[in-house]
């Protein structure tokens, strides 16, 4: 098994203006714990960047950049996307194939949109997925707090039995490389 870490949409546009996502600081710390451990084990780290030109989120703009407290490495990879699915119309799958990855460790933003959609797509494509339950988050919504939304999606995604591979729940401290 060859792993790759996928960090989804942890960009300034989503993490720096108020209100912050639920548990934003802890989520960043937990993502850093995962990515630092991955790099130490020579596991590829791929940062996925969302773009919404129609809403002013342009590639390479200040808002598009990674959140300032994320630890990055010189060999980290990038994927640019325009939908909640990090595989759709991107080179993510070719990067994973190039790296020989068949197991993904997924974390990031937003639990109910991009993390959920990318996790489902990865599992449907046959990747073994570890969802880092303390390293994904979202904003509060009128119907539920961000923390509740993230918990719901962690529990839902790891309960689905119909994918070729079952999505596993892990924490930033229990993921191993």
Q: What's the pLDDT at 51? A: 96
Q: What is the DSSP string of 29-82?
A: HHHHHHHHHHHHTT--EEEEEE-BGGGTB-TTSTTTSBPTT----TT-EEEEES
Q: What's the pLDDT at 53? A: 84
Give me the residues of the chain with pLDDT under 50, please. Answer: none
Q: What's the pLDDT at 164? A: 92
Q: What's the pLDDT at 55? A: 82
Comparing C-alpha atoms, which of 60, 57, 94, 89 is closest to residue 77?
A: 94
Q: What's this model's pTM, rounded to 2 decimal places?
A: 0.97
Q: What is the DSSP string of 133-173?
A: EEEEE---BTTB-HHHHHHHHHHHHTT---SSSPPEEE-TT
The distance of Cα 22 from the centroid of its chain, to the nearest Å, equals 15
Q: What's the pLDDT at 76? A: 98
DSSP 97: H
Report the alpha-carbon distance of residue 5 to residue 34 in Å, rounded: 8
* DSSP SS3 for 94: helix
- Residues near 64 by beta carbon (within 8 Å), at least 6 away in sequence: 11, 12, 13, 49, 51, 57, 58
State in words which class domain 3-170 has: alpha beta
Each residue's pLDDT tens digit, 3-42: 999 999 999 999 998 999 999 999 999 999 999 999 999 9
């Amino acid at each position: 098994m060859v792993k790759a870490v996928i960090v989804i949409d942890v960009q300034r546009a989503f993490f720096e203006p108020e209100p912050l996502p639920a548990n934003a600081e802890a989520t960043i710390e937990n993502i850093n714990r995962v990515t630092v451990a991955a790099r130490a084990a020579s596991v590829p780290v791929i940062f996925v960047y969302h773009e919404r030109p129609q809403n002013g989120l342009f590639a390479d703009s200040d808002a598009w950049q990674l959140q300032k407290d994320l630890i990055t490495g010189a060999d980290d990879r990038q994927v640019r996307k325009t939908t909640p699915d990090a595989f759709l119309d991107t080179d993510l799958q070719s990067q994973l194939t190039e790296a020989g990855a068949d197991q993904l460790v997924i974390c990031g933003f937003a639990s109910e949109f991009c993390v959920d959609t990318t996790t489902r797509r990865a599992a449907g494509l046959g990747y073994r997925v570890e969802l880092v339950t303390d390293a994904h988050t979202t904003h509060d919504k009128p119907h539920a707090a961000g923390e509740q939304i993230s918990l719901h999606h962690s529990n839902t995604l790891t309960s689905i039995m119909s994918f070729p591979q079952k999505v596993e729940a892990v924490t930033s401290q229990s993921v191993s490389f």
